[in-house]
Amino acid sequence: MRMGPRYGATAMRAEFTQAMIALFQKRRDLVFITGDVGYMALEGVAKTYAGRFINAGVAEQNAVSLAAGLAREGHLPWVYSTAPFVVLRPYEQIRNDLCLHRLPVKLVGHGGGYGYGIMGATHHALEDVGAMRALPNMRIYVPLTASDVGEVVNLMAEDPLPNYLRLNTPADIPGELPTFAPWRRLKRGRRGIVIGMGPVVGNLYDMGDRALLDDIEIWSVGMLPIDDIPAELTASIRQKRPVVTIEEHYGSCGLGEALSHLLLTHAVFPQTFTSLHAAGYPSGRYGSQRWHQEESGLAGQALRSQLEKVIRG
């Protein structure tokens, strides 16, 4: 199998592999297909699934079409690869073979966002959610913490639609969290609302400014498309508080665009609306995931400065 760097995202991947092994004990219609990735990660899955584990090689288009055929015959296939490989390379097959036929194939992308760090743009997935959002009948799952992954796998197994699971470096959120859901309020705040997608939300907790953190109400979006807004969130926004979205994804077709459309549709008008998102590669250089997040204003002092302007004016 192709070897990849052992970055933080492997923690979420470990939860995923454990969940897939546990799921196999409950149902035997599963088929696991990998695109020649998963060295030192998928060995337990391969052993458990035995003849129902397929290494399709560096041929993601074929893997997705194979999965479509298996789904038509009553199997539940899971196709696993590095995020840009499982989304962008077989995009036509995902559209034509899965989405147009509403086949319950489960696509799993490891290393969402800047998760593969120094490997560079070819291994980053900054447009994967947007690409999947554009397809009919596709549902996207974005865990926040490692403990979300098991719940997500079980939800996906019962979901009759094609799905995309975006694995990333898990967030470390203090305190007890609500169980995984499309919307979760993580904490209350006094002066502004931050709505995030995925583990980048965890960066809000280590900005080094406790007072600023106390000022913001934090929500996490775990599934897309989003069709409705929780009543509690609507009430907060209607208090004329500023709204900020944060995502490790390009602004185009991401959470910010989806949420702004939803707010307008429901006639919910925040005082201000700010989208914090991946800026790509402003310096033209590559580094760790955290380094890319900071360069995009999604972590550290850069994130703190942006939030101070919006929340404190």
Alpha-carbon distance of 259 to 266, in angstroms, equals 11
Residue 4 maps to a domain: no
> The CATH number of the domain where 30 resides is what?
3.40.50.970
Q: What's the DSSP call for residue 117?
A: G
* pLDDT number for residue 8: 43
* pLDDT number for residue 10: 54
- pLDDT, one tens digit per residue, over 188-241 is 999 999 999 999 999 999 998 899 999 999 999 999 999 999 999 999 999 988
Residue 173 maps to a domain: no
pTM listed for this prediction: 0.95
Same domain, 195 and 150: no
Residue 5 maps to a domain: no
Same domain, 64 and 210: no
Same domain, 17 and 160: yes
Same domain, 146 and 200: no
Residue 178 maps to a domain: no
Place of tokens 């807004």: 229
Q: Which domain holds residue 34?
A: 10-167
- pLDDT, one tens digit per residue, over 22-56 is 999 999 999 999 998 877 789 999 999 999 999 99
3-state secondary structure 206-237: HCCCHHHHHHEEEEEECEECCCCCCHHHHHHH
Alpha-carbon distance of 221 to 178, in angstroms, equals 12
Same domain, 34 and 129: yes
Domain total in the chain: 2
What's the average pLDDT block by block, 10 residues per block, for the chain (313 residues)?
41 93 96 87 95 96 98 98 97 98 98 96 98 98 97 98 97 94 96 97 94 96 96 94 97 97 96 97 97 98 96 82
Alpha-carbon distance of 156 to 164, in angstroms, equals 9
Alpha-carbon distance of 17 to 153, in angstroms, equals 10
Same domain, 137 and 74: yes
Residue 177 maps to a domain: no
**252, 130 Cβ separation under 8 angstroms:** yes
Q: Is 5 left (phi over 0), alpha (psi -120 to 50) or beta?
A: beta
